[in-house]
């Protein structure tokens, strides 16, 4: 019995400190757990939004590329018309007289 009392007296203070700290930290750990769960939900939602944004950006880029191709086609078409008009001789005197 004396040995048991000696053991308790030697390790009693560290045990008391450990219990005190555990009691103090436990509510904070619970609060942190709740915060981590909320944060994981926010990150998941942000990930979905990022995927949607990425898909929208890809569609926008495809639209831009389509517009570039259309402009390129129009430029090529207008070059063909310019070449046709430059090959037609124009009489500037007749044009001025008609004005």
SS3 for the chain is CHHHHHHHHHHHHHHHHHHHHHHHHHHHHHHHHHHHHHHHHHHHHHHHHHHHHHHHHHHHHHHHHHHHHHHHHHHHHHHHHHHHHHCCCCCHHHHHHHC
pLDDT at position 37 is 93
Decide if pLDDT at 97 tops 70: no
Is residue 24 pLDDT above 70, yes or no?
yes
pLDDT for the residue numbered 92: 57
**Interval 46-50 mean pLDDT:** 84
Confidence (pTM): 0.43
Which sequence spans correspond to the domains of the chain? 2-98
Average pLDDT of every residue of the chain: 79
Question: Once rounded to an integer, what is the mean pLDDT over residues 69-94?
Answer: 67
């Amino acid at each position: 019995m004396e040995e048991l009392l000696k053991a308790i007296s030697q390790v009693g203070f560290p045990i008391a400190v450990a219990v005190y700290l555990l009691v103090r930290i436990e509510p904070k750990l619970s609060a942190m757990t709740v915060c981590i769960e909320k944060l994981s939900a926010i990150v998941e939602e942000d990930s979905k939004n990022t995927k949607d944004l990425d898909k929208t950006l890809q569609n926008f880029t495809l639209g831009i590329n389509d517009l570039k191709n259309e402009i390129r086609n129009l430029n090529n078409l207008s070059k063909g018309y310019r070449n046709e008009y430059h090959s037609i001789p124009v009489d500037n005197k007749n044009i001025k007289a008609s004005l």
